[in-house]
Amino acid sequence: MYSTSGFAALAALFMATSAHPQPKASFSWADTKHLITFGDSYTYVQGTHGHQNYSFIGDAFNLSFDAVDLLSNRIVQNQTATAEGGPNWVEFITGCGLKPGLTNPRDCEKQLWDFAFAGSDISTEYTPLHHNFTVSLVNQTKQFQQYANPVLSKFVNPAKTLVGFWIGINDIGDSDKLDVDFLTFYNELMSTLFQSVETVYDLGYNDFLLMQLPPLDRTPPNLIRAGGPLPNKTMVDWYDQALSNHSQTFRLSHPGSKVMVFDTNTFLNGVLDDPAEYGIKNITDYCASYDQPYINTDPAMYGCQPLSEYFWFNTGHMTSHTHEVLAGEVEKFLHEHSAG
Ligand SMILES: *[C@@H]1O[C@H](CO)[C@@H](O)[C@H](O)[C@H]1NC(C)=O
Ligand SMILES: *[C@@H]1O[C@H](CO)[C@@H](O)[C@H](O)[C@H]1NC(C)=O
Ligand SMILES: *[C@@H]1O[C@H](CO)[C@@H](O)[C@H](O)[C@H]1NC(C)=O
Ligand SMILES: *[C@@H]1O[C@H](CO)[C@@H](O)[C@H](O)[C@H]1NC(C)=O
Ligand SMILES: *[C@@H]1O[C@H](CO)[C@@H](O)[C@H](O)[C@H]1NC(C)=O
Ligand SMILES: *[C@@H]1O[C@H](CO)[C@@H](O)[C@H](O)[C@H]1NC(C)=O
Ligand SMILES: *[C@@H]1O[C@H](CO)[C@@H](O)[C@H](O)[C@H]1NC(C)=O
Ligand SMILES: *[C@@H]1O[C@H](CO)[C@@H](O)[C@H](O)[C@H]1NC(C)=O
């Protein structure tokens, strides 16, 4: 039974979100036709109209695009088209953009529309941009609302769309030296992250996938950790807890929404603990020549094992092979969360 005041609060909540046009539809990964994503270098794919090494389309100096720009844009697949030397998790779970060369997202069985930008943080309210052309998460969802959705809504059915967010990798690294209470700080980050989720929800999208952090406390000695072993496992876990808490709150306060949180951290720690099961032989280091032109055909020439035997691609990113392993588990998770 609702108390009177509780009911009023609930009614107010429904009214506040009444702009949301879609009735609840049950999520099914098998029936999903579109994946729309936001995030950072772990998620971005190169587009022919993108900023090379950073985006599918545009940058902070040129956020706008029209229907012709968006629909003539192509996903690039080659050694430099992602931050892992090959396909990444969104390309593996959709199968869109996997083949070398150019792919029109509209030709894919599951279309990938990717607005992630390499080097992104959630908002300049908390951490500075990596470059003056970087598009923060908040600006990615604004760009989506203003320019992408008016085009996509002509053929993208929100009821058959999953919206993915993977963000925080840069935030946790960029803020690790701040003199703040991290638990409080991560909760503040989350309130802004979920405003971005709400921006997309208000356009009629119901189904969300939120990815927790990779095991950033186990990256090879690197720039992120220069000056100390940060972020540490405790901080990664705090961020992930804050993400789970806010996901739960969002789900309860947004009728019809389905918010699925994938426990990236537990799964990938499991891979690091039992690498042989996934064909991985090197979890402590990476091949310093990862970006050399013949690294895929002749790794020995650079004194390296094949890149697919490494968990880490470089100091901050996982190999394409690790992304493929992760994608397999994400797909399993999405099937488990499908209705029926
Ligand atoms: C901005 O981006 C669009 C689409 O990507 C492109 O057509 C246009 O030429 C760009 N404008 C500038 C000034 O670079
Ligand atoms: C993109 O990265 C590659 C190396 O991975 C580099 O050769 C190229 O110059 C970069 N492009 C831009 C526009 O920075
Ligand atoms: C990848 O493709 C893009 C776009 O066609 C091109 O600019 C870039 O040079 C290519 N990189 C490699 C390593 O072939
Ligand atoms: C959005 O992008 C502009 C231009 O780069 C930047 O000045 C602004 O701080 C960004 N906003 C947020 C909330 O990140
Ligand atoms: C962006 O930054 C680059 C290098 O840091 C600088 O050369 C350029 O003038 C900046 N652009 C603007 C519009 O501020
Ligand atoms: C990690 O860092 C946080 C914040 O400085 C600290 O409170 C915590 O005790 C550290 N945890 C470990 C395991 O070092
Ligand atoms: C998440 O919620 C639990 C239970 O309410 C609470 O104990 C925990 O401190 C919260 N974690 C964060 C990071 O806010
Ligand atoms: C891991 O890779 C690094 C760099 O290629 C190499 O020096 C090291 O010997 C490798 N370790 C194992 C256990 O294969």
Find the CATH number of the domain harbouring 179.
Answer: 3.40.50.1110
- Is 159 inside any structural domain? yes
Q: Which ligand approaches the C-alpha of residue 131 most closely?
A: 5
User: What local confidence, expressed as pLDDT, does residue 221 receive?
Assistant: 72
Contact 201, 20 (CB under 8 A): yes
**Domain region containing 278:** 28-336
- Is 32 inside any structural domain? yes
- Is 12 inside any structural domain? no
DSSP states along 95-131: -TT-SSEEE-GGGSSSEEEE--BTT--S-TTTS--SS
User: What local confidence, expressed as pLDDT, does residue 274 receive?
Assistant: 98
User: What local confidence, expressed as pLDDT, does residue 339 receive?
Assistant: 86
User: What local confidence, expressed as pLDDT, does residue 222 receive?
Assistant: 54
| 169 Cβ below 6 A of ligand 8 | no
User: What local confidence, expressed as pLDDT, does residue 198 receive?
Assistant: 98
- CA nearest 57: which of 283, 339, 194, 48? 48
- Is 34 inside any structural domain? yes
- Is 5 inside any structural domain? no
Mean pLDDT by 10 residues, the chain (340 residues): 39 46 76 98 98 98 98 98 98 98 98 98 98 98 98 98 98 94 98 98 98 95 56 95 98 96 98 98 96 96 98 96 98 93
- Is 14 inside any structural domain? no
| 293 Cβ below 6 A of ligand 3 | no
User: What local confidence, expressed as pLDDT, does residue 5 receive?
Assistant: 41
Q: What is the DSSP letter of 37?
A: E
Contact 244, 262 (CB under 8 A): no
- Is 3 inside any structural domain? no
User: What local confidence, expressed as pLDDT, does residue 125 receive?
Assistant: 98
Ligand 3 atom nearest to 79, measured from its CA: 13
Number of domains within the chain: 1
User: What local confidence, expressed as pLDDT, does residue 230 receive?
Assistant: 79
Ligand 7 mean position, distance from CA 241 (Å):
6
| 241 Cβ below 6 A of ligand 7 | yes
User: What local confidence, expressed as pLDDT, does residue 19 receive?
Assistant: 57
- Is 80 inside any structural domain? yes
User: What local confidence, expressed as pLDDT, does residue 249 receive?
Assistant: 98
- CA nearest 211: which of 259, 140, 173, 272? 259
User: What local confidence, expressed as pLDDT, does residue 25 receive?
Assistant: 61
